[in-house]
Amino acid sequence: MKKILASCIILLFLMSGYLTSCQKQMNSLKVGIWRGSLVVREDTIPFLFEVKGSKPDSVSVTLINGDDRFELKKVIFNNDSVTIPVDLYDVRLTGQLTNNTINGHFIKKSANNPTISIPFFAEYGNLQRFSGIKHSTQDFSLNGTWDVNITSSSNTTKTIGNFEQKGSKVTGSILDPSGDYRFFEGVVQDKKFVLSAFGGSTPYLIKGDFHNDTTFSGEFVTLRQTLKLQATRNPNAKMPDPYLSSQLRDGYSKLSFTFPNLEGKNISLSDPEYQGKVVIVTILGSWCPNCLDENAFLAGWYKENHKRGIEVIGLGFERKEDFESAKKSLTALKTRLGIDYEILFAGKSGTESASKALPALNGISAFPTTIFIDKKGNVRKVHSGFNGPATGKFYADFKIEFNQLIDELVSE
């Protein structure tokens, strides 16, 4: 009897070890490239991501869009499921995990809108963003700059498309007065083209048909609606002047504010460390992809230039009004980008809240908005929106213009 009992204990022990080993095998993502798909109404929006780290507690996922890489480190495993959180945007990808697939949902929370949940599927080892496309020389090209009208049921927005095409592969973005839709990647085949983007916040899909080499029409698919596109090639296309949307009210020459930093200490523009210096105030939100791009630029630029007598202050407007929630999200932004300048919590997200927080201006129309202040404390210019690195020549032009303005203010 004792021998039988001992044998049973050994068998249970071995089975336990086997089950634990299987569970550990399940609780991991295969290292390498995966192809994700998000189902939005009748369309599927594909994207690629790379998995690094073979142990569950060291796994990271990097979203790939053109030249952009966005790393997500806090991957969560629970038995045969996996959750990939995108902390800045209050988004998560979650689903059942096998050796080669994930089958689940994309879930996005919003402070002002209902939570969105759409089907999410991923497959290991599929290296093509758009499958079944032959990469060859094309008769039609998206390469260059286009005037693009985006039409909903109620209005038409004038935007600009700027794309680079090599063979059948295309990258680029669409710009509107408040910024850009970040990094698209796709293909052209025959008279058709399709591009997608998913940088962690919102998936987008652009698909269309060429009428000739100078015009195309198509659709722009977002989480909430599908919009119509009409485009005409225009090498001289440009957006409205970004310095005209927000300006000082009559009778004002200076900006005044006091908000807490992430340690809870009140910071004012009138504090001694900002006196006699050129100050850049950027209005941002951790939830805003264009703000992420602008502050990625400013973080590196500040490290190289603050010794010239330049300071930067970020005013964060967040999804929730309580300080602890804002501190968490803004700290995540600051850490991710390596920001050395102060980020202050200024209020709830939205242009209305930002406008109330800065009554010296006639209103805030876009996130981000950047305010340039001279050594005497006078507001010299207010720039609405941001053309990020996905916009190619528009981003290059912005950097030249930005540095020229700062050089002028520093030399005064």
pLDDT in tens, 85-142: 998 999 999 999 998 999 999 999 876 778 899 999 999 998 899 976 665 556 789 9
pLDDT of residue 99: 84
SS (H, E, C) 241-287: CCCCCCCECCCCCECCCEEEECCCCEEECCCHHHCCCEEEEEEECCC
| Whether residue 27 has pLDDT greater than 90 | no
pLDDT in tens, 256-288: 999 999 999 999 999 999 999 999 999 999 999
Question: For tokens 């497959």, what's the residue?
Answer: 123
pLDDT of residue 137: 57
Distance, in Å, from the CA atom of 297 to the CA atom of 314, rounded to the nearest integer, reads 13
Distance, in Å, from the CA atom of 227 to the CA atom of 152, rounded to the nearest integer, reads 5
Label residue 180 by pLDDT band (50, 70, 90).
very high
pLDDT of residue 22: 42
289-305 helix and 323-337 helix, angle to the nearest 10 degrees? 60
Query: Closest by alpha carbon to 132, among 190, 64, 179, 74?
Result: 190
**Looking at residues 174-197, what average pLDDT do you find?**
94
DSSP bridge partners of 316: 284, 345
Q: What percent of the chain has pLDDT over 70?
A: 92
Overall fold of domain 28-124: Lipocalin (2.40.128)
Q: Which residues of 265-280 are buried (b: 16+ CB within 10 A; e: fewer)?
A: eebebeeeebeebbbb
Distance, in Å, from the CA atom of 354 to the CA atom of 158, rounded to the nearest integer, reads 25
Q: What is the DSSP letter of 16?
A: H
Helix (H) or strand (E) holding 19: helix 2-26
Spelled out in words, what is the top-level CATH class assigned to the domain 258-411?
A: alpha beta
| Whether residue 309 has pLDDT greater than 60 | yes
Domain ranges of the chain: 28-124, 144-233, 258-411
Determine the number of helices (DSSP H) and then strands (DSSP E) in the chain.
Answer: 5, 25
| Whether residue 164 has pLDDT greater than 90 | yes
As given in the structure block, the two tokens for residue 332 are 């995540």
CA distances from 296 to 110, 158, 292, 299, 342 (A): 24, 27, 6, 5, 14
Q: Do domains 28-124 and 144-233 have the same CATH topology?
A: yes
Residues in the chain: 412
Whether residue 286 contacts residue 88, with contact meaning beta carbons closer than 8 Å, is answered with yes
Spelled out in words, what is the top-level CATH class assigned to the domain 144-233?
A: mainly beta
pLDDT in tens, 191-244: 999 999 999 999 999 999 999 999 999 999 999 999 999 999 999 999 999 999
Q: What are phi and psi of 300, to 5 degrees?
A: -70, -40
Cα distance from N-terminal residue to C-terminal residue, the chain: 96
Which residues, 6+ apart, have CB-to-CB distance to 25 below 8 Å? 99
